[in-house]
Chain A
């Protein structure tokens, strides 16, 4: 559930200024930092989320969640996600304390047993609730956990984008990700995920960006991510409702004892 932080912020990669004579790696990292800085300052975020799972033959199943994220300052963000559908996992909560340079702390609350279970954050490439999203797609996207490389500038759907490659420094289910980063709103328009054999596995398309005013800053959040698995032809669509940014939570809202 370091995924929540990213679900809500998703693209945290940034655009570099016009630094001269930068290597592609330096430029990519510079862009990533700029995107991060541009998206910082949301303070706290709360929303309802819906995920539509579409099978290869077109059948659809809906998953629903509620989420909160508290911006972390020097440390990473803290996030809490509660599942409300399907019914057999209703009330299940996942608490994540992300860190910039070490493994996240994660806890799962299992309501049937009134139990808070510590979980390791290793299952990055596992499917999230049967969807085409993996936990690492939705998890903490701290820039220190990736190596970046600027590939080129181009236009995507008539918008100027930077095309960046990023490779996880930690064990991952992907060999690389290619991100198409919008130069104006500092958020991704598309991400291509390559499996460990180097083949294109999935494509995520971001849509419905809305501006949110938090203090003096205007932050953009996508209201929809459409993930298509090009190998299995399965699809998943993540959407957000009732999103609030700038919300002030207390520390105890993200404590283990609040899980029960």
Chain B
């Protein structure tokens, strides 16, 4: 009879607990405009899978989530990543103070297109722009409630490598970077166990959502690609392991101070702003193909507005405007840091709010300095049933090369492509 008691115990346990699960399998297809280069892959056919489970009982909860992609045409896109694998526990009966530990996805952004404050997780840079793919970061957190918000103290003991597009990817730079190195003082190492930490305060102030953060970590967005292993011959720097060794991304320690604000106004409007100031440790110069380089201190700022209007048929349309600029740097430095160094984003999202959830998104990103650089995007998606969804994206890169070497968005000029997806949820 013991097993019956055990089953009854399990049943009772489940009855008290809250268990959830969700899975999806997506067939992804993308077709680029033919570039007549045999070494690049113009077609991608992939299967993307994501699994998630969550459990909550009393003060305890945990979440497990991860995804994989297998591309039949371009194996460098294959990956399996953990997104979340953490447990949380409320320290008090009021469920106010919370500790959590494990791998976690963070999202600190307030804007849609430009995300200066969202810096924690490493990313897959070959992912669709509209669906950023992040890698879970190992973290131990303490969340302390404070007025109408919270103070969150976090310790991140380990860094994770970002994923770059492969050599054959049309969204890459023509070569696959080597495994990254993490710069610690005057040394560049591949050891991933490195303490990082942050403090983030969120508050609701006069109807506005405000967040401020202090982050001390290893940057993942602004690598210096080159080598730290070099010698001097006849006064000129020469990589010890040859020119081919100069494809190593070096990530430096950075102190980031920033914040976000989101504030509704005039009934249908939403104002958003986001900024991050980054000061790097600069004790090691990296030999790059353009000479010695160090990371560049900078401030990245963005503002945005959203306006939503409803229609008599129950549908709604939202208009987006966002502007982002690199501050505190020369224009050439800003262009080295990011392709969106002085850009604006215009977007329109129309949700039909019908049974199938049909949505259209039309958007464009334009460069203010480099006016020939434009990125256009059109998306449509709808459900086929409660468990099937289909969609498509058309992306146009209009950035003709102006000089002898492609710069900024010019690298992706004419990498126009169409993507299709078909998802089955379970």
Contacts and interface: CB of A to CB of B under 8 A. Distances in A.
Contacts of A253: 95
Given A120-B267, A130-B355, A255 B150 contact: yes
Interface stretch (A15-23, A27-35, A84-92, A177-185): A84-92
Nearest to B118: A115
A139 B47 CA distance: 40
A178 to B, nearest CB: 19
A252 interface: yes
A53 interface: yes
Contacts of A119: 264, 270
Contacts of A89: 357
A66 to B, nearest CB: 10
B207 interface: yes
B316 interface: yes
Given A120-B264, A123-B316, A126-B316, A88 B423 contact: yes
Nearest to B381: A88
Nearest to A124: B310
Contacts of B314: 125-127, 134
A244 interface: no
Contact of A91 (B20, B107, B145): B20
B315 A120 contact: no
Contacts of A195: 312
Nearest to B203: A256
Interface stretch (B174-182, B229-237, B382-390, B400-408): B382-390
Interface residues of B, number: 53
- Which interface class (under 10, 10 to 19, 20 to 34, 35 or more) fits A? 35 or more
B306 interface: yes
A120 B357 contact: no
Contacts of B312: 125, 173, 195-196
B373 to A, nearest CB: 26
Contact of B145 (A53, A112, A115, A255): A255
A128 B386 CA distance: 16
Interface string A49-69: 000010100000110000000
A195 B310 CA distance: 13
A125 B209 contact: no
Interface string A96-122: 000000010101000011111111111
Interface in B305-340: 306, 308-312, 314-316
A120 B353 contact: no
Interface string B209-234: 10000000000000000000000000
Contacts of B107: 113-116
A88 B94 contact: no
Contacts of B22: 87, 90-91
Given A87-B426, A91-B20, A250 B268 contact: no
A68 B239 CA distance: 63
A198 interface: no
Contacts of B204: 105, 256
Contacts of A55: 355
A157 interface: no
Interface in A220-260: 250-253, 255-258
B383 A86 contact: yes
B356 A130 contact: yes
B145 A120 contact: no
Interface string B251-276: 00000000000111001111010000
A126 B315 contact: yes
A115 B109 contact: yes
B269 A120 contact: yes
A215 interface: no
Nearest to B389: A88
A240 to B, nearest CB: 19
B243 to A, nearest CB: 40
A64 to B, nearest CB: 10
Contacts of B262: 117-118
A118 B267 contact: no
A127 B315 contact: yes
Given A126-B314, A127-B353, A255-B150, A120 B94 contact: no
Contact of A53 (B106, B131, B269, B355): B355
A209 B94 CA distance: 33
A125 B353 contact: no
A122 B131 CA distance: 26
Contacts of A129: 353
B425 interface: yes
Contact of A118 (B264, B310, B386): B264
B190 interface: no
B96 interface: yes
B132 interface: yes
Contacts of A103: 264, 267
Given A250-B94, A252-B145, A171 B267 contact: yes
A118 to B, nearest CB: 4
16 contacts: A61-B386, A87-B425, A87-B426, A88-B389, A90-B425, A103-B264, A114-B107, A116-B107, A121-B267, A123-B308, A124-B310, A125-B310, A126-B315, A127-B354, A130-B354, A253-B95
Interface of A: 53, 55, 61-62, 85-91, 103, 105, 107, 112-130, 134, 170-171, 173, 195-196, 250-253, 255-258
Given A88-B423, A119-B270, A123-B308, 20 more contacts: A61-B355, A86-B383, A87-B426, A88-B357, A89-B357, A105-B204, A107-B209, A114-B84, A115-B107, A120-B268, A120-B308, A121-B267, A126-B351, A127-B314, A128-B353, A130-B354, A252-B96, A256-B204, A257-B98, A257-B145
Closest 3 CB pairs of A and B: A127-B314, A87-B425, A127-B353
